[in-house]
Amino acid sequence: MRTKSVLTATAIALVASVVIPIPMAAEAAPTLFAGTGHYYECIDGAFTWEEARDAAATKTFDPGSGVLQGYLATVTSQAENDFVSLPNILCIDANQQVSDARWLGGTDAESEGTSEGFWIWATGPEAGTLFWIGGIGGSVQPPDFFANWGANEPNSSGNEDYLESRQAWNDCSNVASGCSPFGGWPYVVEYGGLEAELTKELTSGPNEDNDAVVDVVVPVGDSSPLEDPYDFTITYSNPGGPDAIVFDTVPAEWQVTAIDGQGPNDPKCFVDFGNGGGGTVDAGPANGKCKKAKSATKIEWNVEGLTDGELVVDVLNRQSPSGKPKFKPTSCGAIILNDGAIAFESDGSGNLVLDPPVTGDPVVVAGPTDPICLVAVEDPEGTLTNAEPSRSAAADHDGDGIPSFVEACVNVVQTNPCDDDTDGDTVLDGVDQCPLRGLEETGVVDPDGCPVEDN
């Protein structure tokens, strides 16, 4: 990635033919435009529009808040158009000259899924968005209602289907014939708006209370095998890259039985689930040992080359190799079905990208997601299997005014879902402003549940 320094006021004043010989400037980081929150840089040289489009899609930039995917810039306002032009973004052409000409991501080429006179943005988050219909004197289109064609443009002279900007826009052929003496132009890369998304949700599972929703409440001490597995879905989306590998872990209390409907090829170690989610999946004991009833399961989902994918993981409460119960909830509170998924950048060959190289940490592309949580509650009378919605996220088993699932899995301050007064100060958790503080030595407490010394 290379962005040259901004022209000085004196140099700007010399711009007449907008091609100025200057010494090569030092490399600089992409420049932030506050109007979009995106970063921009010019890549110097002579490129066809298609070369520029493809090369821009391979570039990434991390401003310190996460990796941003690059793409051939799209421009949707006058302010953004001014920013990607001279003097803000400096481009150097193939003759080592400062040039105001640069490629942007617009086209009406049939090869890009459009037709003559129907101009779209072919790149970035606006990919496929129509912004202009017609030739000279055509019309801007929603949602942005913006174009900045120069006089008598676009004229499609000589099969000109690609957007070249000199602040005012011009249509050029792919190789810029008639537009450039070099057979191409520099191009502007934009970073932002294509951030990777990684989500995870519980999508199906047991329904013992017959309320048409997945059970999120399980009884303490129950180790009987589940008839229906819990399914959670990991969804990854990152148009244009970079390549990534998604990691997740299922704790030892649970056994992965299938990934995308495919069971393990090695049932002893629960490894090798084959392909899944459009990529490849590797799952096995997190401790590296073939101990069917002891280890957590580590999942690696290689999504290299994918712009989006979905992985469905089935889990059951783990049983021992002999078929006897191995794990069971022993106390009230949260039970983690799986850890938070996280996507790291890869090099396209299955290796993680480190920053700095060799000695650094893996580069995070997206995540981590929140873990998927269930709640265990006491069930001395066996009422959690009746026809009432006693296993739903809305059920309040201790009567304190807070659903048990919320107490264990949602609230920042986790109270005991089996005790209506977790800190024993006589104020129910549902109205207690200090639910874990308890009584002061004098035994005096305010109605809000906080010790008097706090007020």
What is the pLDDT, as a whole number, of residue 293?
46
**Strand runs (DSSP E) across 157-268, as ranges?**
162-166, 168-172, 185-191, 197-204, 217-219, 230-237, 244-250, 254-259
Q: Which of 109-113, 281-285, 432-436 is least confident?
A: 281-285
220-275: pLDDT as tens digits: 988 888 888 999 999 998 765 678 899 999 998 888 888 887 776 665 555 555 55
Looking at domain 197-385, its CATH class is mainly beta
Q: 9-191: what fold?
A: Mannose-Binding Protein A; Chain A (3.10.100)
What is the pLDDT, as a whole number, of residue 290?
62
Does 66 score more than 80 pLDDT? no
- Token couple for 277: 């989610």
Q: 86: closest CA among 165, 152, 148? A: 165
17-31, 167-181, 237-251, 304-318: range with highest mean pLDDT: 167-181
What is the pLDDT, as a whole number, of residue 386?
54
**Alpha-carbon distance 92 to 22, whole Å?**
9
Does 166 score more than 70 pLDDT? yes
**Alpha-carbon distance 127 to 441, whole Å?**
65
CB of 94 closer than 8 Å to CB of 47: no
Q: What is the pTM of this model?
A: 0.62
According to CATH, where is 2.60.40 located in the chain? Answer: 197-385
Residue 217: left if φ>0, alpha if ψ -120 to 50, beta else—which one? beta
Question: Average per-residue pLDDT in the chain?
Answer: 82
Peptide bond into 321 cis (omega under 30): no
Does 11 score more than 50 pLDDT? no
According to CATH, where is 3.10.100.10 located in the chain? Answer: 9-191
Q: 42: closest CA among 69, 79, 6? A: 6
Q: What mean pLDDT is predicted for residues 299-320?
A: 82
